[in-house]
């Protein structure tokens, strides 16, 4: 198989088959919904007990993008949010710190100026989050300003309207433009799986995001739609596995939206371990976007 992405082909396409259809067809058809459910259950049965231990729970803590994305956020509150990360690192140095602190772009500077823990990144949602409904120029400006103020990582939302209406070119053009703006930084593309509903739509959105240069594909915004599901995670991990098998490139998976308990987090990890393997058990390739999960994990450790 060529290492060139189907979306970069310039040869003549078969009449009636777009480069997007060719890209989708390069991936295996999905099992039925029942088969997906059965496989998820098998993976949880196979891995849950081996992962349900302090070492894994500490690892899970290191995968968290610790999130504050409220309309009531303000500088004092974000300052205290960052302080809690600094304080935990001082008081419990054996617990690996969270992967990032994730905020709206206007708080990037507050996080950057007050964060004292070396390994923690500054993450911002951008691009008209959570709806992605604004001018592309605004998305570019917002993303550029977030980076200028210290963001290492940017989470954007795939344009659902364009995707669901079949305008895949508009979807990929926009992600590619924001990929160019975020050069050298981590770009996560949120598929909003609760709005996509079907496994096939989730698979297609994941493929488009990867071909557009996403470093991570992410389940949900946690705003307005159902959040992460084990089924969505399974479909996305299968795409990441096939993408790696075809092109030799590992891309990351982020689960977000409603992951609150240690038990839930371990179940997602069972899917990552079972589908993608131990190589993905690192916070460079696996993240959990969460706010309340951190407290639940810490109760199991401290």
Report which secondary-structure segment, H or E, holds 174: helix 168-181
Residue of 109, 139, 188, 254 marked catalytic: 254
Assigned token pair, 124: 């911002």
Residues 6+ apart with CB under 8 A from 100: 65, 66, 120, 121, 122, 123, 152, 153, 287
Rg (alpha carbons) of the chain, rounded to whole number = 19
254 is catalytic: yes
Residue of 89, 152, 155, 215 marked catalytic: 155
Give the DSSP per-residue string, 75-94. HHHHHHHHHHHHHHHHH-TT
Interhelix angle 262-271/54-62, nearest 10 degrees: 80
Q: Is residue 182 within 8 Å of 147, Cβ to Cβ? A: yes
Number of helices (H) and strands (E) in the chain: give both, helices first: 13, 8
155 is catalytic: yes
Three-state SS for 188? strand
Cα end-to-end span (Å), the chain: 49
19 is catalytic: no
Residue of 19, 139, 188, 218 marked catalytic: 218
Assigned token pair, 189: 């593309």
Which of 200, 206, 271 lies closest to 31 in space, CA to CA?
200
Catalytic residue numbers read: 155, 218, 254
């Amino acid at each position: 198989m060529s290492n060139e992405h189907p979306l970069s082909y310039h040869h003549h396409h078969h009449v009636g088959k777009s480069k997007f259809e060719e890209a989708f067809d390069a991936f295996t058809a999905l099992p039925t919904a029942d088969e997906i459910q059965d496989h998820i259950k098998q993976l949880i049965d196979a891995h849950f007990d081996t992962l349900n231990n302090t070492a894994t729970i500490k690892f899970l803590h290191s995968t968290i993008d610790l999130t504050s994305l409220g309309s009531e956020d303000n500088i004092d509150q974000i300052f205290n949010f960052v302080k809690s990360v600094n304080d935990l690192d001082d008081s419990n140095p054996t617990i690996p710190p969270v992967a990032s602190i994730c905020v709206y772009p206007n708080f990037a500077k507050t996080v950057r100026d007050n964060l004292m823990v070396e390994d923690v990144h500054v993450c911002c949602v951008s691009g008209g989050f959570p709806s992605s409904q604004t001018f592309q120029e605004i998305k570019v400006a917002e993303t550029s300003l977030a980076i200028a103020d210290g963001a290492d990582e940017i989470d954007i939302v795939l344009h659902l309207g364009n995707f669901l209406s079949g305008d895949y070119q508009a979807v990929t053009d926009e992600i590619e433009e924001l990929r160019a703006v975020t050069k050298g930084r981590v770009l996560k593309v949120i598929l909003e799986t609760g709005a996509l509903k079907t496994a096939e739509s989730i698979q297609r959105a994941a493929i488009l995001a990867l071909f557009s240069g996403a470093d991570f594909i992410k389940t949900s915004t946690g705003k307005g739609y159902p959040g992460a599901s084990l089924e969505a995670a399974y479909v996305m991990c299968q795409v990441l596995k096939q993408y790696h098998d075809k092109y030799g490139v590992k891309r990351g998976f982020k689960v977000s939206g409603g992951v609150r308990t240690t038990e839930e987090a371990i179940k997602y990890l069972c899917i990552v371990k079972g589908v993608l393997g131990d190589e993905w058990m690192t916070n460079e390739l696996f993240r959990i976007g969460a706010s309340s999960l951190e407290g639940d994990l810490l109760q199991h450790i401290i």
